[in-house]
Chains A and B, each alone.
Chain A
């Protein structure tokens, strides 16, 4: 690349540093989970003690709960976001409305996650706005106590927090579908449902996969929503990792992280494999160019 001041060597150098700086630590944590530590000194004997301890102290249900909540919400987000993204990409005609909607979907990415959920605590508390409203309207006789610091609350917190991350990739992939395909499908006599399932859905698969990754992954490691909305009643892995590191229990934190990493890896290999029929990863570049 003689054309650029930043030549192929600086790119190679940066790529190398990037892999050492982030990819190696991610692989390292798996290795680390089989070691022991004394203070911050590492002892180089392989052992699975950390995993035994982890499951002995209730790691199984913890991981199960985290995955269950994240998976449930990912499915719900997908079901809510897909029709909306489809409408935004192919249905919405009013340019101003579209512009406003795009802005509304962009702004939340740049807001502090704490600022986005902290208010629910006051609104949903026993004497809060919602409960008072429900009692005044005579819908319930006594305050509903599962509105906050419960699994319901965690789900609600996730719903708003990750909706834009699901809408954007799906919207982009649907918007890139040529209108001619939809026309052709219609001209050939396909019903709207048939067009949806046989034209739009397969072509928007990359967006769906990206959306699922961008919501499921951060939900697993979310530090804010379980703390603010679960309030200690709904423990998820982030809380335990945090306490373990705080207690210098590095190996157990590593073991917990390694398990999550393994699940993520399996999940993503599955998803990327699902993408193969539509061109895999190199297709990303092709669609960027279009």
Chain B
């Protein structure tokens, strides 16, 4: 998952010795493996594309597109509540889960940035970094539902705390932090400590060193931590299922509604489409911000 950040580095490595890597390149293309890879990618993207197409179709539940209409979007946003005698569970109730999800995602992103800024620069330099990293990555190595139940039993039955928005935020942070930390580590483990020493020798205070040296250099890591925190929290389901009181986040909402076999499912298609488009746009912006600038600068340098 540190992939985003790693990519720039690998591209760089390839760019440095083009002749050699091309030579090797000829040795490893097998059309079968390429075909399989893109075939699975097609299996990933077909349902997403089809979802979007069906969400503007009149009869989405049949799986056939056609008779284009925005009716489901209309119902979702301004739902009248009744159609053919059946009440829509979705209509008009989307805003609350959406706002809650946005709020918790923002909090999770902020927590991820602060925590990975605290841990990231120091972890590669301490003695017990192996076991500590293992501890921090624990949520990745335990199935979500098991971790979620453990947290629930510990805080609710063990400590007798009432679940609520705080526990949702905590669970999302526990889920997202390992990703944020890994992203930060990619940057921070290559950070040259001597820069800070030099700044100290020149009379910079602790905070000056932090804001003027560390933060600018660690910026890609900070950005990635916030990005991971936000989007992972925004779409998080397994941890949210137990670590909540009555709170309904957007993924919980979708999960409950999509389990129901009623006519509100077409509205789920419309809602999912909107969320998917928003997530894709955000991801693209993130990729551009993280890697677009140096790329553009490189191109400029080439032209000049």
Residues of A within 8 A of B (CB): 1, 3-6, 8, 10-11, 14-15, 18-19, 21-26, 28-29, 32, 37, 40, 42, 80-81, 83-84, 86-93, 95, 98, 101-120, 122-125, 127-130, 132, 156, 159-161, 163-164, 167-168, 171-172, 175, 179, 182-183, 186, 192, 213-214, 217-218, 220-224, 227-228, 237-238, 241-242, 245, 250, 253-254, 257, 260-261, 264, 268, 280-282, 284-285, 288-289
CB neighbours of B206 from chain A (8 A):
3-5
Select from chain A the residue with minimum beta-carbon distance to B35: A84
A11 touches B174 (CB 8 A): no
Q: Is the CB of A241 within 8 A of B10?
A: no
Q: How many of chain B's residues touch chain A, expressed as a range?
A: 35 or more
Nearest Cβ on chain A to B129's Cβ, whole angstroms: 6
Q: A87-B37, A106-B4, A112-B272 are in contact. Are A264 and B138 (CB under 8 A)?
A: no
Contact A172 B6, beta carbon cutoff 8 Å: yes
For A22, give its contact among B147, B160, B207, B254 (CB under 8 Å): B147
Known interface pairs A87-B30, A91-B29; A116-B141 also in contact (CB < 8 Å): no
B174 and A109 contacting across the interface, CB-CB below 8 Å: no
B7 CB–A CB distance under 8 Å: yes
Instruction: Let me know if B43 is at the binding interface, CB within 8 A.
Output: yes
Q: Indicate if the CB atoms of B129 and A107 lie closer than 8 Å.
A: no
From A210, which residue of chain B is reached at the shortest CB distance?
B140
Known: A14-B119, A25-B150, A125-B62. 12 other contacts (CB 8 A): A14-B118, A23-B138, A83-B37, A87-B34, A95-B11, A101-B37, A112-B235, A112-B250, A114-B272, A115-B272, A159-B40, A192-B28
Q: Is the CB of B62 within 8 A of A160?
A: no
Asked whether B124 lies within 8 Å of A159 as measured between CB atoms, the reply is: no
Which residue of chain A has the shortest Cβ distance to B6 in the bound complex? Answer: A172
Q: What chain A residues lie within 8 Å of B3 (beta carbons)?
A: 102, 105-106, 168, 171-172
Give residues 224-241 of B contacting A (CB, 8 Å).
231-232, 234-235, 237-238, 241
Q: Which residue of A lies closest to B43 (CB)?
A: A160
B132: chain A residues at CB < 8 Å are: 15
Provided the pairs A83-B36, A86-B33, A90-B24 are in contact, do residues A264 and B47 lie with their beta carbons within 8 angstroms? no
**B268 and A22 contact, CB distance less than 8 A:** no
Contact (Cβ within 8 A) A114 B251: yes
